[in-house]
Amino acid sequence: MALCYLSMFIIFFVLISVPAGLDTLGMIEFLQEGQLLFAISYSLGYLVFGVLLAITLQSLQHSLPVENSALASLADRFGSIWVMLMMASGMTYLIGMDRLIHLVSIDPVQAQALYHSLGLIIEALGGGIELVGGLWVLLLSIAGLKQNWLPKTLHLLGLLIGCIGILTVMHIVPYLKDAFGLLQLIWFIWLGVLLLKH
């Protein structure tokens, strides 16, 4: 999952440079030119991530000392919801962009409307607000602290990440989403190493 995050960061901040001052049609043309790169990015960042998250949830169920913990079970529910949201976002993007690129040559006005609708749906489901992912990390970290499972510092980092994720509900506050992603990247690596050792 950390590699999925890193792949998206590299694609969007290193490989892709969005020209300044593009209008909606210009953005659609830009997406069309980089269609393969965008498709790879969303496939990795949403679909592959969703599959790996499902595997992680399964691993966590068998790793926690107290398997019937109410907090851990609640965390697992939010984790499962996050899997569905991420995969739905990825599939919506891939199908939506294909339709968008076919539509722009036929009806540019409808293509622009679809572009804005698609952006709204994807942001709402899987990127604009990190509430569900934040709740998963927060509840899992509280359960870990209560069960004295894994290092305390990992769970304290998880508490911070979870709170930041929940605060992205106030999406007008800058850099919250970026902080959530960067800190969670570290948390994923740390958790992954510990689970492999376990």
Classify the C-alpha dihedral 12-14-16-17 as positive or negative.
positive
DSSP letter assigned to residue 34:
T
pLDDT tens for the 198 residues of the chain, in order: 999 999 999 998 888 888 888 899 999 999 999 899 999 999 999 999 999 999 999 999 888 887 678 999 999 999 999 999 999 999 999 999 999 999 998 999 999 999 999 999 998 887 789 999 999 999 999 999 999 999 999 999 999 999 999 999 987 788 899 999 999 999 999 999 999 887
Query: How many angstroms separate the CA atoms of 155 and 146, rounded?
Result: 10
